[in-house]
């Protein structure tokens, strides 16, 4: 079978790459496609094209209403092509098909939302304290945006960057992860078909040294929007010391899910299972730390164990599959090492902790639950980005809050209780950008998303996101017909 071949999209054209690499199907471990490896020269061409489009040509002169219509059209095309994009994402990342189909179809709403907002982001008239002056404040596009996304949920994570950036009038160079870039490189076809002017959106992939570093530190880049891990984020911050680009960082998490004894325990168990085992745990908001009230801990763990052991693991393209492989072999190796270390240091294995039977040819790892006993175990402290749940008991509400906040991360959290006052107290006390009460993993284009601490800087989504892609220009107009006095003549 001939391997699929993908190309970068630069300045309105699909560009042949001087260098390429193989992309691997995580369910088989076999190469299935050839991907372009963007060089520093490719990055320069993309950024320069974006800069030209920002300053001259159709995009520069386009009204906000026209930009909004393009975004709405793009959203419609994403929905119309959701099945194809989902099949590519599943093939290239191992994420199960029923999840990729549902998520990508919903991504269309993000583009429609920001399309509707494009001509509703207004400036201001300032009632200045000078009688002969009129002052207005204009929001203008911040400039060329470098958007860098990981392989997981990449069409969604791109939409929360591209949507507000393009609505604000910016141009974008989007870097897809070198792990599983196929759906974003295919998405470039939809950008082209929607009618975005050349240079306004550029999409490429490549490796950190030649592609990522050059892009985020490029002198023509004014803003960097990044989703990924803290170590890469630190590199990006160092890179932006060169161009002083405004930077937002949506990073990892070690999200707590707090289950009180008064909760609907079966509902909570379903949410916990979905929160950690959906997408094989490869989600920045994965609820990887379960904090459960001691009086119900054993019964709750028994319920979780039964649910975890009935999860159907298999071919991610099969709609019956409930959990697929990890995206890369190195990710599985890292998880295996941390789980082994945690068990050696006193953690008790409830279920999983191994490669499942029948998945030897792919990067599979069984749903795993560890009764940690101590908050100091590696499985409790480190983001594993895999299907591993660490469990700790608590006795009081105060102890639950202390354990929930005992992490340098602060992206998401969940609380399960039927006590309204307790829910409000926990929501106030948890140091995280998202608190879900009696639910988990709910998102909407209308709601901002982001974290505290090592989970990043800034917010994505919601009405205010467009403002992060603009800068204010103050316009002063002198209204007096009298000549300006000579400043060197004393009166």
Angstrom distance (rounded) from CA 233 to CA 235: 5
Helices (DSSP H) in 154-229: which residue ranges? 154-167, 182-194, 213-216
How, if at all, do strands 470-478 and 133-141 pair? antiparallel
The per-residue DSSP string of 93-116 comes to H---HHHHHHHHHHHHHHHHHHHH
Please answer whether residues 46 and 9 qualify as being in contact, where contact means their C-beta atoms are separated by less than 8 angstroms. Answer: no
162 and 112 Cβ atoms separated by less than 8 Å: no
By C-alpha distance, which of 160, 157, 2, 189 is closest to 77? 189
DSSP bridge partners of 368 = 388
Give the contacts of 241 (CB within 8 A, at least 6 positions apart): none
- β-partners of residue 272 are none
How many distinct helices (H) and strands (E) make up the chain?
15, 21
**Distance between CA atoms of 175 and 161, rounded to whole angstroms?**
12
Distance (Å) of CA 158 to CA 146, 151, 172, 229: 11, 10, 11, 16
Q: Please state the separation of Cα 184 from the chain's center in Å.
A: 14
- Reduced to 3 states, what is the DSSP secondary structure of residue 462? coil
Burial call 267-303: b when 16+ CB within 10 Å, e when fewer? ebbebbbebbbbbbbbbbbbbbbbbbbeebbeebbeb
DSSP helix/strand/coil, 437 = strand
Residue 75 C-beta-side C-alpha neighbours within 13 Å:
24
> Side-chain half-sphere of 159: how many Cα atoms within 13 Å?
33
Known catalytic residues? 250
Q: Are 459 and 433 in contact (CB under 8 A)?
A: yes
- 473-487 burial, b at 16+ Cβ within 10 Å, e below that, comes to eeeeeeeeeeeeeee
Which residue do the tokens 């054209």 mark?
Answer: 13
Element (H, E) at 438: none
Strands 368-371 and 388-394: parallel
């Amino acid at each position: 079978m001939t391997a699929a071949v993908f190309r970068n999209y630069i300045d309105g054209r699909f560009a042949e790459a001087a260098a390429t690499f193989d992309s691997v199907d995580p369910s088989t471990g076999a190469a299935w496609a050839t991907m372009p490896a963007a060089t520093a020269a490719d990055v320069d061409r993309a950024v320069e094209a974006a800069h030209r489009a920002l300053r001259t040509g159709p995009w520069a002169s386009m009204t906000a209403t026209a930009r909004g219509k393009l975004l709405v059209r793009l959203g419609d095309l994403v929905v119309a092509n959701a099945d194809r994009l989902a099949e590519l994402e599943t093939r290239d990342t191992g994420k199960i098909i029923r999840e990729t189909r549902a998520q990508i179809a919903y991504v269309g709403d993000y583009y429609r939302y920001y399309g509707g907002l494009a001509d509703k982001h207004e400036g201001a008239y300032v009632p200045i304290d000078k009688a002969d002056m009129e002052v207005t404040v204009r929001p203008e596009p911040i400039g060329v945006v470098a958007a860098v996304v990981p392989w997981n949920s990449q069409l969604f994570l791109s939409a929360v960057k591209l949507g507000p950036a393009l609505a604000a009038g910016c141009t974008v160079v989007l870097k897809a992860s070198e792990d599983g870039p196929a759906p974003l490189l295919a998405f470039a076809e939809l950008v082209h078909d929607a009618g975005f002017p050349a240079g306004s959106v550029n999409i490429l992939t490549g490796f950190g040294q030649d592609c990522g570093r050059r892009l985020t530190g490029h002198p023509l880049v004014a803003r960097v929007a990044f989703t990924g891990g803290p170590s890469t984020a630190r590199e990006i911050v160092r890179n932006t010391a060169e161009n002083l680009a405004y930077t937002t960082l949506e990073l990892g998490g070690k999200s707590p899910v707090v289950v009180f004894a008064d909760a609907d325990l079966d509902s909570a168990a379903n949410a916990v299972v979905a929160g950690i085992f959906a997408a094989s745990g490869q989600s920045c908001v994965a609820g990887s730390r379960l904090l459960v009230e001691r009086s119900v801990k054993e019964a709750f763990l028994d319920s979780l164990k039964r649910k975890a052991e009935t999860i159907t693991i298999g071919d991610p393209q099969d709609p019956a599959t409930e959990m697929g492989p990890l995206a890369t072999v190195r990710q599985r190796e890292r998880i295996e090492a941390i789980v082994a270390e945690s068990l050696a240091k006193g953690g008790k294995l409830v279920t999983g902790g191994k490669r499942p039977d029948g998945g030897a040819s792919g990067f599979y790892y069984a749903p795993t639950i560890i009764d940690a006993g101590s908050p100091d175990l590696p499985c409790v402290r480190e983001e594993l980005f895999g299907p591993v749940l660490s469990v700790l008991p608590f006795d009081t509400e105060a102890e639950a809050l202390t354990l929930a906040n005992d992490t340098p991360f602060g992206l998401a959290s969940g609380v399960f209780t039927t006590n309204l006052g307790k829910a409000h107290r926990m929501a106030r006390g948890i140091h995280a950008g998202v608190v879900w009460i009696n639910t988990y993993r709910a998102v909407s284009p209308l709601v901002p998303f982001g974290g505290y601490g090592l989970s990043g800087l800034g917010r994505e989504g919601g009405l205010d996101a467009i403002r992060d892609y603009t800068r204010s220009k103050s316009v002063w107009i002198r209204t007096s017909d009298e000549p300006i006095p000579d400043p060197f003549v004393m009166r």
